[in-house]
Amino acid sequence: MACGRRYHRGRSGWATSGIHREFHSTNIVATQAGASWSYEFIGTAVEVLGTIPTAMASVTVTFSIDGVKIQDYNSPANFPQDTRHQTFFRSIDHLNLDPTVKHKLQVTQQTLPSAGRFLFFDYLLYTASNSTQIDQATTRAFIDEREAKYCR
């Protein structure tokens, strides 16, 4: 399993948050517009999930792979309750990734975070294609922001 998270806290615009129902209470949330995090993987697909909070205004987040903008995610506004485990991005919906090379997912919050204008990023999933990455070839891997403790 590839170890090492690549989001930045504090000066770089990220804070941790979360409750027990979110994976080990390990959400991250942007504290400034333009804050970004990235993750490198070898695989054929990647998916980013998190929480949309109650009564939120719309937020725009950009997803790029290998330096190419793939999608802007515009969250729905005015949710009546916290909605967890929501898919913000799925690469399989947009492109087929080369299973033999390392890819870089980049996530950037475009909207200035303010009261009611933020998303909580909880975890990502990717479909690995290299048996040296994880135990079985073509297996889905669960990567949480504290994933380094799961590495061998």
With a cut of 80, say whether residue 131 has pLDDT above it: no
Q: Report the pLDDT value the prediction gives residue 143, as an integer from 0 to 100.
A: 53
Q: What share of the chain is helix, strand, coil (3-state, %, to 5)?
A: 10, 45, 45
* Confidence check: pLDDT of 113 > 60: yes
**pLDDT at residue 7 is higher than 50:** no
Model pLDDT for residues 57-79, shown as the tens digit of each residue:
788 999 999 999 999 998 887 77
| Confidence at 152, pLDDT banded by 50, 70, 90 | very low
| pLDDT greater than 90 at residue 119 | no
What pLDDT score does 2 carry? 34
User: Which residues contact residue 97 at a Cβ distance below 8 angstroms, ignoring those fewer than 6 apart?
Assistant: 43, 44, 45, 46, 65, 91, 103
Q: Taking all residues of the chain, what is their mean pLDDT, rounded to a whole number?
A: 75
Distance between CA atoms of residues 146 and 135, nearest Å = 19
Q: Residue 58 carries which DSSP code?
A: P
| 8 Å CB contact between 30 and 113 | yes
DSSP for residue 114: B
Average pLDDT on 105-132 reads 79
Instruction: Check pLDDT > 80 for residue 38.
Output: yes
The pTM of the full predicted model, rounded to 2 decimals, is: 0.76
CB-based contact 97:23 (threshold 8 Å): no
